Amino acid sequence: MPQKTNKEAEFSFVAATNWELDKIVNELRSVRNEWRSQRGRLREAGLRELPSREVLQQILSELCGALFPMRLGPQDLREESEDYYVGHTLDAALNQLLIQVQLELLYVARQQSDSADEAELKIQANNIVRLFASALPRLRRVLDIDVQAAFQGDPAARSVDEVLLCYPGILAIIYHRLAHTLYELGVPLLARIVAELAHSSTGIDIHPGAQIGSGFFIDHGTGVVIGETAVIGERVRVYQAVTLGAKTFPTDETGALQKGLPRHPIVEDDVVIYAGATVLGRITIGKGSTIGGNVWLTRSVPPGSSITQATLRNIAEAQI
């Protein structure tokens, strides 16, 4: 009996496989419908309910190109066609963003009631995107200060262009400033998706609600966490693995977490926080202070403080 060729053997192996896909697809549909039914989320057939991460990633790439056309725009772009490129790119990005904003507003409205005034929501979405677009020149000015701060704060940086093209902290702050604008305009889900796209790409986790002044520099960046209600002043520098987090999570009478309460640190102007420091709770780090590496800080410190592990150890011993 002649032996099968490799291609024939491969075909026989694949043909013999039975995944029972019809059964699995039907069971998955049942699970989805059960989950939606439990939450009152049965919806019109064929209607996408939530914004798209993939579309938002494309929008962000286009916005970065429009903000910094000769550095983050297309390779073949020339200065004489900058304005045309920026206008064309912004038109495409903002129209796509409008659709995503409409999806979030419609989703929220349907969670709150059985009926939603889609015409009114479209007007609201247009206003949000118009205000977002008008904020872009201001964001570019602030980002220029951030880039300059990174260049001045890192002796390894050879140019501001290197900083913009290479530094994960700069990508994270670009995304954050876009996300924070969306957050303030009332589309927190889109803002959170933008923040998580930055987190996935850079390892830097900044909640879009965090308020961050200009001249902010994250050096190295991996593992930095900045919470929703953190307030950061001007010209602040942080290093890798710094956490500006919450110390406690208050609950209501039912035991559910209370949302939106101020629970993260306030960092005043000109503060430096070195690698691995953990700063927790609604405390204030005074202007011009330095927080050393691996410090665990849960109390406010006055302006001009220099806090190290030895400092905290001495304070603890003096209190015994």
pLDDT single digits (tens) 63-104: 999 999 999 999 999 999 999 999 999 999 999 999 999 999
Provide the residue range defining the domain that includes 231.
223-320
Q: Work out the burial of residue 95: count CB atoms within 10 Å of its CB; fewer than 13 is exposed, 13-18 middle, 19 or more buried.
A: exposed
Q: State whether 169 and 244 are in the same domain.
A: no
Query: What pLDDT, on a 0 to 100 scale, did the predictor assign at position 260?
Result: 82
More confident residue, 5 or 133: 133
For the chain, give the mean pLDDT: 91
Instruction: Determine the average pLDDT of the residues in 259-288.
Output: 96
Closest CA to 123 of 140, 137, 109: 109
Per-residue tokens: 43: 């919806």
Angle at 85 between CA 81 and CA 86, to 5 degrees: 120
Confirm whether 85 is domain-assigned.
yes
Q: State whether 75 and 123 are in the same domain.
A: yes
Of 203, 238, 261, the residue that ends a domain is 203
Q: State whether 239 and 315 are in the same domain.
A: yes
CATH number at residue 291: 2.160.10.10
Q: State whether 199 and 88 are in the same domain.
A: yes
% of residues, the chain, pLDDT over 90? 78
Confirm whether 209 is domain-assigned.
no
Query: At 43, is the pLDDT very low, low, confident or very high (cuts 50, 70, 90)?
Result: low
Confirm whether 4 is domain-assigned.
no
* pTM for the whole structure: 0.88
Confirm whether 8 is domain-assigned.
no
Other beta carbons within 10 Å of 227:
19
> What is the per-residue burial (b if ≥16 Cβ within 10 Å, else e) of 40-54?
eeeeeeeeeeebeee
The answer to whether residues 170 and 76 touch, using CB atoms and an 8 Å cutoff, is no
CATH number at residue 60: 1.10.3130.10
Calpha distance 291→132 (Å, rounded)? 35
Q: State whether 190 and 280 are in the same domain.
A: no
Q: State whether 300 and 196 are in the same domain.
A: no
Q: State whether 195 and 229 are in the same domain.
A: no
Confirm whether 74 is domain-assigned.
yes
Torsion over CA: 152, 158, 163, 169 (sign): negative
Calpha distance 207→204 (Å, rounded)? 10
Q: Residue 136: in which H helix or E strand, if any?
A: helix 118-153
Domain count, the chain: 2
Confirm whether 118 is domain-assigned.
yes
Residue linked to tokens 């019109």: 44
More confident residue, 294 or 45: 294
Of 172, 203, 234, the residue that ends a domain is 203
Of 148, 175, 203, the residue that ends a domain is 203
* pLDDT tens-place string over residues 213-242: 999 999 999 999 999 999 999 999 999 999
Q: State whether 185 and 232 are in the same domain.
A: no
Query: At 13, is the pLDDT very low, low, confident or very high (cuts 50, 70, 90)?
Result: low
Strand order in the sheet with 272-273: 217-218, 237-238, 272-273, 290-291, 306-307
Per-residue tokens: 174: 């670009």
Query: What pLDDT, on a 0 to 100 scale, did the predictor assign at position 177?
Result: 98
Q: State whether 77 and 197 are in the same domain.
A: yes
Q: State whether 288 and 163 are in the same domain.
A: no
% of residues, the chain, pLDDT over 70? 91
Query: What pLDDT, on a 0 to 100 scale, did the predictor assign at position 257?
Result: 85
Calpha distance 177→140 (Å, rounded)? 10
Confirm whether 210 is domain-assigned.
no
> Phi, psi (5° rounding) for residue 284?
-120, 130
Query: What pLDDT, on a 0 to 100 scale, did the predictor assign at position 250?
Result: 82
CA distances, 63 to each of 96, 121, 161, 215, 283 (Å): 11, 24, 18, 21, 35
Calpha distance 198→179 (Å, rounded)? 10
